Amino acid sequence: MSDDMTEAGLIPVPDQSVLVIDFGSQVTQLIARRVRESGVYCEIAPFNSAQEAFERLSPEAVIFSGGPASVTDEDSPRAPQAVIDSGVPIMAICYGQQTLCTQLGGVVEGGHHREFGRADVDIKKASPLFEGLWEAGGSYPVWMSHGDRVTELPDGFEVLGQSPNAPFAIAADEARKYYTTMFHPEVVHTPDGAKLIANFVHNIAGLTGDWTMAAYKAQAIEAIRAQVGDGKVICGLSGGVDSSVAALLIHEAIGDQLTCILVDHGLMRMDEAAQVVAMFNEHYDIKLIHVDAADMFIDALEGESDPETKRKTIGKLFIDVFEEEARKIGGAEFLAQGTLYPDVIESVSFTGGPSVTIKSHHNVGGLPERMNMQLVEPLRELFKDEVRVLGHELGLPDSFIGRHPFPGPGLAIRCPGGISRDKLEILRKADAIYLDEIRKAGLYDTIWQAFAVLLPVQTVGVMGDGRTYEFVCALRAVTSIDGMTADFYHFDMNFLGRAATRIINEVQGINRVVYDVTSKPPGTIEWE
């Protein structure tokens, strides 16, 4: 292990690592996930701070992401020349291919036939990149997303694969270990893409793939002890998997120096606070304070319709509660929370896009100075699926680890428009019925996330012999592999009929139910 701590968090940088340089692609996170799935630690850095990240990590390999810019435009993003000249193996994807080729003396042009979606790549020559996957002379499906394309390769490069609209779909300078693809191997639409990335990491960069969650757990415990010393820590326990895993990990590191605080803000699901308190009290010897702050939060949110104001109001009130509880227990020096790596990435605007506001309810940028506390974020380097693996390492029950994600603002962002106590109670009941039907159908573990939404519209309906004017409830359920992209779950009509009938019959205030069949492309926020 390196003696240096990562800027992102507490955990020492492993001996072997990969740096992903982000040029603004919506699926850059998927590249890092694929590398980690191959057993190698990986971090993402935006192109404009990649030099510092490269010097800190000293990675054994670098991957350039795609991006929305055109290499032909003035001031378009470039990779640090020091990285290119360093001699480490480089894999460059889409825009990454274009900027690498441009910086090495090749030519990129726009105005050619664009290529978006599925394409077939014809393999012209065998390569370690394809070992065990693709053979010369074969044709294989990939996913393209480009307008510009390389029209002249730099010296030393040769074509390894072509598609109908990308004559240099795969090109490499194998002597210098520069490998480039016009297609996106990181997305699931390229069937062998994850294996291609693994081949680059193992066959070309020579990394062993020995980064495990058991090793991460041990390293995290050491790092927490080093940071906290004899200090006291309070942990914001939301009831979700992330904060629960963070609490167990910190408790394993420092024992009774940790106090967990569950803030019941009145925006949780049906009986959720009671379930979390019961689980922790019955199974774990962790000090837990249950704060009933529902009136404080709902009073502050009542009538508020702007989703960003809702998030920021909730974040501020959380800080207020934690600050008060820290005083009560004798002045904790540290505040712990379950911040994940996507929270960090999405809260930093790498390329001037909208990502700066995606996670505004998280304190990923630090705490108010008046708190005089330090953040402890032991999951800050992990993706959601990795947190679940760590939860297994820590002994969390499967039923809890498999819980659907539910964001910190809770029902506040599942209730578009103004919030009121009555509307929250209507939504809470509808949501509980919906999840109950999903569990009865045996679908809970198949679906990645499901929830009900109370729409800010009312419709006239006839129920029995009476006329009603009540709310519309929307149901959403999605499947996802990575949590970034999602497709709606294809319920059969019998299920939807049962769920809708129960909601309308059992929840006073709803007279119509609709099902949301919107797919979620990368980088979007749903239902707020």
Name the residues annotated as catalytic: 94, 184, 186
End-to-end alpha carbon distance in the chain: 43
Contacts of 210 (CB under 8 A, 6+ apart): 16, 39
Q: Which helix (H) or strand (E) holds 510?
A: strand 510-515
d(CA 203, CA 220): 29
DSSP result, 33-55: HHHHHTT-EEEEEEGGGHHHHHH
Q: What are phi and psi of 90, to 5 degrees?
A: -130, 135
CA distances to 4, 12, 49, 387 from 15, rounded to whole Å, are 11, 9, 21, 21
d(CA 301, CA 308): 12
Judge contact between 108 and 151, C-beta under 8 A: yes
CB atoms within 10 A of CB 431: 24
Judge contact between 182 and 37, C-beta under 8 A: no
DSSP result, 64-112: E---SS-TTSTT-----HHHHTT---EEEETHHHHHHHHHTT-EEE-SS
Closest Cα to residue 145, out of 172, 171, 161, 166?
A: 166
d(CA 277, CA 283): 10
Sort strands 115-123 and 158-163 into parallel, antiparallel or unpaired: antiparallel
Q: Give the dihedral sign, CA 333/337/340/342.
A: negative
Judge contact between 373 and 326, C-beta under 8 A: yes
d(CA 267, CA 423): 11
CB burial class (10 A; 0-12, 13-18, 19+) of residue 40? buried
d(CA 333, CA 10): 16
Judge contact between 119 and 166, C-beta under 8 A: yes
d(CA 152, CA 389): 45
Label residue 471 left, alpha or beta by phi (over 0 means left) and psi (-120 to 50 means alpha).
beta
